[in-house]
Structure 1
Amino acid sequence: MHGEHGTRGTGGKRVTSAQEDAYLEFVAERARALYRSAYVLAAGDTHLAEDLVQETLGRVYAHWKRVARADSPAAYAQTVLVRAFLSLRRRRSTGERPVGDLPDRAASGPDTALRLTLLDAIGRLPPRDRAVLLLRYWEDRSIEETGRMLRMSNSAVRSQGTRALVRVRALLGDSLTDLVPR
């Protein structure tokens, strides 16, 4: 039968064809959403966003049997993505950030300047602030879920989210009103 013959997975564990098919289906359904989140976390750095998604999908594959049984494999993958981002930021020895990079493709629409300005402001925040804003406002996660994902207390999520929003507002200054279409 199709599911009985396995292929080698990571760590020498057997992954059945059915499990691999389920994983590939999961990737097809969730890769774009993971990339969008990674892009926000990476402050528009497309290469870093792609690396984060690949790291996330690799970790999810390595634990696919457990992930597939989780209440929400999508939430599990999102948690892995955010933790991979925070771990990468802690490991980096310098605060180097590329500046002046152009997007890979031209954006269009009335809110392009606003989106780029917001992305730039979010990119200036510390990594944990970015993660809190992403989960709470981009992903619309609850305080409790955000806390579990980031291993923070609910009160820490609230206070860090509030401080991050204050920082974004300070970074934007008056320029935001200039970008809003009239």
Structure 2
Amino acid sequence: MRSERDEQFHRFVVSRRSGLVRTATLLTAGDAHLAEDLVQSVLTKLYVAWPAFRQADNPEGYLRRVMVNALTDERRRWWRRREESMADVPDLPAAEPARQGEVADGLRAALKQLPPRMRAALVFRYVYDLDVADTADALGCSEGTVKSQTSRALDRLRVVIGENPAFAHR
């Protein structure tokens, strides 16, 4: 028989997991496997800290902060530095993607070239439309850092996208 805490957590996971995976996929620049690992890590940490999460003044901010911290922890793992994930088997030729797919792939590739914190700043600011203060809270930094990281990230993306032929006729 489940406790009330377990029931609350179960309902939370059922209602929020797909959104967490979507956010994690953006934060990992499209690495679906790392995104799944990240969500699992976040849910584990959240279960342990469930009473604190339930009492938080800003549960959404708490959740974003746990996710960014889990991503940072994941990137620091020694085996992650030696491992290179591949979405497709490299020995097989890739099928010709549709134009829309090329843009999505190009954008993911461009995002992948950004450091994780710059990518997170862009995702929170422009995908989730958070203001500077909420983004700073999620990243655990100052508002000035969010502004400079966002500006630098956009500059880098402009260069990368400008060099990518998939975006040439946009």
Correspondence 1:85-104 to 2 at 5 A: 85-92=71-78, 94=81, 97-99=84-86, 101-102=87-88
Task: Say what the alpha-carbon RMSD is for the aligned residues.
Answer: 2.5
Paired residue for 1:42, among 19, 22, 28? 28
Shift in Å, 1:51: 0.4
Correspondence 1:30-179 to 2 at 5 A: 30-92=16-78, 94=81, 97-99=84-86, 101-102=87-88, 111-174=100-163, 175-178=165-168
**Which structure features the higher share of helix residues?**
2
**Structure 1-normalised TM-score?**
0.78
Q: Residues 112-171 of structure 1: CA distance to partner in whole angstroms, max 9, x if unpaired?
A: 221111111101111111111111112211111111121211111101100011111111
Farther off after superposition, 84-93 or 28-37: 84-93
Q: Which runs of 5+ in 2 are unaligned?
A: 89-96
CA contact (8 A) 1:146 1:157 kept: yes
Shift in Å, 1:42: 1.6
Shift in Å, 1:179: 6.0
CA contact (8 A) 2:132 2:143 kept: yes
Q: Which runs of 5+ in 1 are unaligned?
A: 8-16, 103-107
Aligned partner of 1:43: which letter? A
CA contact (8 A) 1:56 1:80 kept: yes
Give the whole-Å Cα distance in 2 for the aligned partners of 1:69 and 1:109: 47
Farther off after superposition, 170-179 or 49-58: 170-179
Q: Percent identity over the alignment?
A: 36
Q: Residues 3-23 of structure 1: CA distance to partner in whole angstroms, max 9, x if unpaired?
A: xx8x6xxxxxxxxx2221111
Higher relative contact order (Cα pairs below 8 Å, separated by 6+ residues): 2
Change (3 A) 1:95 1:133: farther
CA contact (8 A) 2:9 2:47 kept: yes
Shift in Å, 1:71: 3.1
Shift in Å, 1:109: 7.9
Change (3 A) 1:76 1:152: same
Change (3 A) 1:26 1:73: farther
CA contact (8 A) 2:65 2:140 kept: no
Query: Which contiguous aligned blocks of 4+ residues in structure 1 show a shift greater than 4 angstroms?
Result: none
